[in-house]
Protein backbone atom coordinates (compact mmCIF):
# COMPACT_ATOMS: atom_id res chain seq x y z
CA UNK A 1 0.00 0.00 0.00
CA UNK A 2 1.76 3.17 -1.16
CA UNK A 3 1.31 6.55 0.49
CA UNK A 4 0.86 7.47 4.14
CA UNK A 5 -1.54 5.33 6.22
CA UNK A 6 -2.85 5.81 9.79
CA UNK A 7 -3.57 2.66 11.78
CA UNK A 8 -5.50 2.61 15.05
CA UNK A 9 -4.74 -0.59 16.94
CA UNK A 10 -8.11 -1.32 18.56
CA UNK A 11 -6.71 -4.36 20.35
CA UNK A 12 -3.21 -5.85 20.41
CA UNK A 13 -4.21 -7.97 17.39
CA UNK A 14 -6.72 -5.92 15.42
CA UNK A 15 -7.11 -2.41 14.05
CA UNK A 16 -8.27 -0.17 11.26
CA UNK A 17 -6.10 1.60 8.77
CA UNK A 18 -6.85 4.56 6.55
CA UNK A 19 -4.99 6.54 3.90
CA UNK A 20 -3.89 10.04 4.93
CA UNK A 21 -3.92 12.97 2.50
CA UNK A 22 -2.03 15.27 4.86
CA UNK A 23 -1.32 15.93 8.52
CA UNK A 24 -2.86 19.26 9.51
CA UNK A 25 -1.66 19.65 13.10
CA UNK A 26 -0.01 17.64 15.88
CA UNK A 27 0.60 18.75 19.47
CA UNK A 28 1.22 17.22 22.88
CA UNK A 29 -1.29 19.16 24.99
CA UNK A 30 -1.31 19.20 28.80
CA UNK A 31 -3.60 16.14 28.70
CA UNK A 32 -3.17 14.10 25.51
CA UNK A 33 -1.50 13.85 22.12
CA UNK A 34 -3.69 15.73 19.64
CA UNK A 35 -3.57 15.02 15.89
CA UNK A 36 -5.71 16.54 13.15
CA UNK A 37 -5.35 14.72 9.83
CA UNK A 38 -7.08 14.85 6.44
CA UNK A 39 -8.05 11.33 5.27
CA UNK A 40 -9.04 10.12 1.79
CA UNK A 41 -12.07 8.19 3.02
CA UNK A 42 -13.45 10.23 5.92
CA UNK A 43 -12.20 13.79 5.42
CA UNK A 44 -10.71 15.68 8.35
CA UNK A 45 -10.30 13.55 11.47
CA UNK A 46 -9.43 14.29 15.11
CA UNK A 47 -7.24 11.80 16.97
CA UNK A 48 -6.44 11.89 20.69
CA UNK A 49 -3.68 9.59 21.97
CA UNK A 50 -3.88 7.73 18.65
CA UNK A 51 -7.63 7.04 18.92
CA UNK A 52 -10.24 8.21 16.42
CA UNK A 53 -12.44 10.82 18.07
CA UNK A 54 -14.47 12.11 15.14
CA UNK A 55 -14.38 12.48 11.33
CA UNK A 56 -16.34 14.92 9.21
CA UNK A 57 -17.89 12.09 7.16
CA UNK A 58 -19.39 9.88 9.91
CA UNK A 59 -19.60 12.22 12.95
CA UNK A 60 -23.35 12.79 12.53
CA UNK A 61 -24.22 9.27 13.71
CA UNK A 62 -22.58 9.60 17.11
CA UNK A 63 -23.49 13.23 17.76
CA UNK A 64 -27.16 12.75 16.80
CA UNK A 65 -27.51 9.59 18.90
CA UNK A 66 -25.85 11.09 22.00
CA UNK A 67 -28.06 14.21 21.82
CA UNK A 68 -31.51 13.31 20.46
CA UNK A 69 -32.26 10.10 22.35
CA UNK A 70 -32.10 11.82 25.78
CA UNK A 71 -33.50 15.15 24.57
CA UNK A 72 -36.62 13.51 23.14
CA UNK A 73 -36.92 11.37 26.27
CA UNK A 74 -37.11 14.38 28.59
CA UNK A 75 -40.46 16.20 28.11
CA UNK A 76 -38.99 19.70 28.36
CA UNK A 77 -35.17 19.85 28.48
CA UNK A 78 -34.06 23.43 29.19
CA UNK A 79 -30.61 23.17 30.77
CA UNK A 80 -28.11 20.65 29.40
CA UNK A 81 -24.52 19.75 30.29
CA UNK A 82 -21.93 18.10 28.04
CA UNK A 83 -18.88 16.61 29.77
CA UNK A 84 -16.08 16.43 27.18
CA UNK A 85 -17.39 16.98 23.68
CA UNK A 86 -14.79 19.64 22.84
CA UNK A 87 -15.23 19.02 19.10
CA UNK A 88 -18.64 20.66 19.41
CA UNK A 89 -20.70 18.02 17.57
CA UNK A 90 -23.04 17.21 20.46
CA UNK A 91 -23.57 20.92 21.17
CA UNK A 92 -24.54 21.46 17.51
CA UNK A 93 -27.22 18.77 17.81
CA UNK A 94 -28.48 19.97 21.23
CA UNK A 95 -29.21 23.43 19.81
CA UNK A 96 -31.68 21.90 17.32
CA UNK A 97 -34.06 21.62 20.32
CA UNK A 98 -35.87 24.95 20.85
CA UNK A 99 -36.71 24.06 24.47
CA UNK A 100 -32.99 24.19 25.39
CA UNK A 101 -32.23 27.59 26.90
CA UNK A 102 -28.66 26.83 28.01
CA UNK A 103 -26.07 24.23 27.04
CA UNK A 104 -22.91 24.09 29.15
CA UNK A 105 -19.84 22.31 27.77
CA UNK A 106 -16.99 21.35 30.10
CA UNK A 107 -13.90 19.97 28.36
CA UNK A 108 -10.59 19.60 30.14
CA UNK A 109 -8.50 20.42 27.05
CA UNK A 110 -8.88 23.84 25.43
CA UNK A 111 -6.68 22.71 22.50
CA UNK A 112 -9.39 20.27 21.38
CA UNK A 113 -11.84 23.17 21.22
CA UNK A 114 -9.32 25.45 19.47
CA UNK A 115 -8.31 22.98 16.75
CA UNK A 116 -11.83 21.64 16.23
CA UNK A 117 -12.95 25.19 15.44
CA UNK A 118 -10.04 25.52 12.99
CA UNK A 119 -10.14 22.14 11.21
CA UNK A 120 -13.65 20.78 11.94
CA UNK A 121 -15.79 23.90 11.38
CA UNK A 122 -18.86 21.86 10.36
CA UNK A 123 -18.72 20.04 13.71
CA UNK A 124 -17.68 22.92 15.96
CA UNK A 125 -20.11 25.30 14.22
CA UNK A 126 -22.25 26.17 17.27
CA UNK A 127 -19.67 26.51 20.06
CA UNK A 128 -20.00 30.30 19.91
CA UNK A 129 -23.83 30.28 19.97
CA UNK A 130 -25.33 32.60 22.65
CA UNK A 131 -27.10 29.62 24.27
CA UNK A 132 -23.75 27.86 24.79
CA UNK A 133 -21.37 28.32 27.72
CA UNK A 134 -17.96 26.71 27.14
CA UNK A 135 -15.87 25.99 30.23
CA UNK A 136 -12.35 24.55 30.20
CA UNK A 137 -12.08 22.23 33.19
CA UNK A 138 -12.42 18.76 34.67
CA UNK A 139 -15.92 17.41 34.16
CA UNK A 140 -15.56 15.31 37.30
CA UNK A 141 -15.06 18.46 39.41
CA UNK A 142 -17.88 20.30 37.62
CA UNK A 143 -20.28 17.47 38.44
CA UNK A 144 -19.07 17.36 42.05
CA UNK A 145 -19.86 21.07 42.39
CA UNK A 146 -23.31 20.92 40.71
CA UNK A 147 -26.57 20.31 42.58
CA UNK A 148 -30.07 19.92 41.14
CA UNK A 149 -28.89 21.87 38.12
CA UNK A 150 -29.47 20.06 34.83
CA UNK A 151 -32.33 18.40 32.98
CA UNK A 152 -30.00 16.31 30.80
CA UNK A 153 -26.29 15.48 31.09
CA UNK A 154 -24.28 13.94 28.24
CA UNK A 155 -20.89 12.39 28.87
CA UNK A 156 -19.02 12.67 25.57
CA UNK A 157 -15.60 11.74 26.89
CA UNK A 158 -12.61 9.87 25.59
CA UNK A 159 -12.17 6.22 26.60
CA UNK A 160 -11.41 5.49 30.26
CA UNK A 161 -7.75 6.44 29.99
CA UNK A 162 -5.88 9.48 31.29
CA UNK A 163 -8.16 12.33 32.38
CA UNK A 164 -11.30 10.36 31.46
CA UNK A 165 -10.70 7.39 33.79
CA UNK A 166 -12.77 8.94 36.59
CA UNK A 167 -15.68 9.58 34.21
CA UNK A 168 -16.52 5.87 34.19
CA UNK A 169 -16.76 5.36 37.97
CA UNK A 170 -19.77 4.76 40.21
CA UNK A 171 -18.83 7.87 42.17
CA UNK A 172 -19.11 9.94 39.01
CA UNK A 173 -22.55 8.51 38.20
CA UNK A 174 -23.67 9.26 41.79
CA UNK A 175 -22.42 12.80 41.24
CA UNK A 176 -24.41 13.01 38.02
CA UNK A 177 -27.56 11.97 39.90
CA UNK A 178 -26.95 14.82 42.34
CA UNK A 179 -26.28 17.32 39.53
CA UNK A 180 -29.52 16.38 37.75
CA UNK A 181 -32.95 17.83 38.60
CA UNK A 182 -35.53 15.50 40.18
CA UNK A 183 -36.70 14.21 36.76
CA UNK A 184 -33.33 14.47 35.00
CA UNK A 185 -31.51 11.88 32.92
CA UNK A 186 -28.03 11.31 31.52
CA UNK A 187 -26.35 9.40 28.73
CA UNK A 188 -22.73 8.30 28.47
CA UNK A 189 -20.88 6.81 25.52
CA UNK A 190 -19.89 3.34 26.70
CA UNK A 191 -17.64 2.00 23.94
CA UNK A 192 -18.08 -1.29 22.05
CA UNK A 193 -19.14 -4.80 23.14
CA UNK A 194 -16.54 -6.66 21.07
CA UNK A 195 -13.47 -5.33 22.89
CA UNK A 196 -14.94 -3.55 25.96
CA UNK A 197 -17.69 -5.89 27.20
CA UNK A 198 -16.46 -5.68 30.80
CA UNK A 199 -16.70 -1.88 30.73
CA UNK A 200 -20.27 -1.97 29.42
CA UNK A 201 -21.22 -4.58 32.03
CA UNK A 202 -19.70 -2.68 34.96
CA UNK A 203 -21.05 0.73 33.92
CA UNK A 204 -24.54 -0.75 33.47
CA UNK A 205 -24.37 -2.37 36.92
CA UNK A 206 -23.20 0.90 38.56
CA UNK A 207 -25.82 3.05 36.81
CA UNK A 208 -28.60 0.54 37.58
CA UNK A 209 -27.77 0.83 41.30
CA UNK A 210 -28.30 4.60 41.14
CA UNK A 211 -31.04 5.24 38.54
CA UNK A 212 -34.50 3.60 38.45
CA UNK A 213 -34.42 3.45 34.65
CA UNK A 214 -31.22 2.20 32.99
CA UNK A 215 -30.99 1.22 29.34
CA UNK A 216 -28.39 0.54 26.65
CA UNK A 217 -28.74 1.58 23.04
CA UNK A 218 -26.49 1.25 20.00
CA UNK A 219 -25.49 2.84 16.70
CA UNK A 220 -23.19 1.97 13.80
CA UNK A 221 -20.07 4.13 13.74
CA UNK A 222 -17.66 2.83 11.08
CA UNK A 223 -14.52 4.61 12.33
CA UNK A 224 -14.93 3.54 15.98
CA UNK A 225 -13.56 0.25 17.31
CA UNK A 226 -15.63 -2.66 15.92
CA UNK A 227 -18.18 -0.22 14.43
CA UNK A 228 -20.84 -1.20 16.97
CA UNK A 229 -21.07 1.60 19.55
CA UNK A 230 -23.08 1.69 22.77
CA UNK A 231 -24.63 4.37 24.91
CA UNK A 232 -25.83 3.92 28.49
CA UNK A 233 -28.77 6.02 29.68
CA UNK A 234 -29.70 6.53 33.35
CA UNK A 235 -32.99 8.25 34.13
CA UNK A 236 -34.68 9.32 37.36
CA UNK A 237 -38.20 9.34 35.90
CA UNK A 238 -38.59 9.38 32.09
CA UNK A 239 -38.20 6.14 30.10
CA UNK A 240 -36.65 6.53 26.60
CA UNK A 241 -38.96 3.75 25.39
CA UNK A 242 -41.98 5.89 26.35
CA UNK A 243 -40.77 9.03 24.50
CA UNK A 244 -43.28 10.93 22.36
CA UNK A 245 -42.87 9.76 18.76
CA UNK A 246 -44.62 12.78 17.21
CA UNK A 247 -42.09 15.29 18.56
CA UNK A 248 -39.20 13.41 16.92
CA UNK A 249 -40.35 14.19 13.38
CA UNK A 250 -39.64 17.92 13.64
CA UNK A 251 -35.85 17.69 13.63
CA UNK A 252 -33.27 17.87 10.82
CA UNK A 253 -31.03 14.81 11.09
CA UNK A 254 -29.10 12.34 8.88
CA UNK A 255 -29.21 9.27 11.12
CA UNK A 256 -31.64 9.74 14.02
CA UNK A 257 -35.34 9.13 13.30
CA UNK A 258 -38.30 8.23 15.50
CA UNK A 259 -38.00 4.59 14.42
CA UNK A 260 -34.24 4.57 15.03
CA UNK A 261 -34.87 6.04 18.52
CA UNK A 262 -36.85 2.96 19.55
CA UNK A 263 -35.01 0.39 17.41
CA UNK A 264 -31.62 1.40 18.86
CA UNK A 265 -32.69 -0.13 22.17
CA UNK A 266 -33.31 -3.55 20.56
CA UNK A 267 -30.17 -5.51 21.45
CA UNK A 268 -28.63 -8.70 20.04
CA UNK A 269 -28.56 -11.46 22.64
CA UNK A 270 -24.83 -11.14 23.45
CA UNK A 271 -25.42 -7.48 24.30
CA UNK A 272 -28.60 -8.21 26.30
CA UNK A 273 -26.50 -10.52 28.46
CA UNK A 274 -24.11 -7.69 29.30
CA UNK A 275 -27.00 -5.69 30.72
CA UNK A 276 -28.75 -8.50 32.54
CA UNK A 277 -25.88 -9.11 34.90
CA UNK A 278 -24.99 -12.47 33.31
- Interface residues with ligand SAM (CB under 6 A) are 31, 53-54, 62, 83-87, 106-109, 112, 138-140, 156-158, 163-164, 167, 189
Shortest Å distance, C-beta 81 to ligand SAM: 11
Shortest Å distance, C-beta 249 to ligand SAM: 26
Tell me how far apart the alpha carbons of residues 74 and 262 are, in angstroms, rounded to a whole number. Answer: 15
Active-site residues: which are they?
156
Cβ neighbours of 118 (radius 10 Å): 13
Cβ 40 vs Cβ 18: under 8 Å: yes
Tell me whether residue 142 or residue 201 sits nearer to ligand SAM (CB atom).
142
Nearest to 135 by CA among 84, 193, 197, 184: 84
Q: In whole angstroms, how large is the CA radius of gyration of the chain?
A: 18
Enclosing H/E stretch for 139: helix 139-144
Tell me whether residue 88 or residue 240 sits nearer to ligand SAM (CB atom).
88
Which parts of 29-126 are beta strand (E)? 33-39, 43-48, 51-55, 79-84, 102-107
Tell me whether residue 62 or residue 173 sits nearer to ligand SAM (CB atom).
62
Tell me whether residue 163 or residue 193 sits nearer to ligand SAM (CB atom).
163
> Residue 95 in 3-state DSSP?
coil
Cβ neighbours of 22 (radius 10 Å): 9
Shortest Å distance, C-beta 90 to ligand SAM: 8
Shortest Å distance, C-beta 125 to ligand SAM: 15
Residue nearest to ligand SAM (CB): 84
Amino acid sequence: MSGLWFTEKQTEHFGITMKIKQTLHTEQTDFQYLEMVDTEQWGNMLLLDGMVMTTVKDEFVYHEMVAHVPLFTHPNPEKVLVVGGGDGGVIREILKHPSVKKAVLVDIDEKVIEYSKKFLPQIASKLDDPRVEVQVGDGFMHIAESNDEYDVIMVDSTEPVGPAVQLFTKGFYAGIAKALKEDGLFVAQTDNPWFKADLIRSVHKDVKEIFPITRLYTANIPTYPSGLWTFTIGSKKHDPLKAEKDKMKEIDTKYYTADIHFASFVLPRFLEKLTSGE
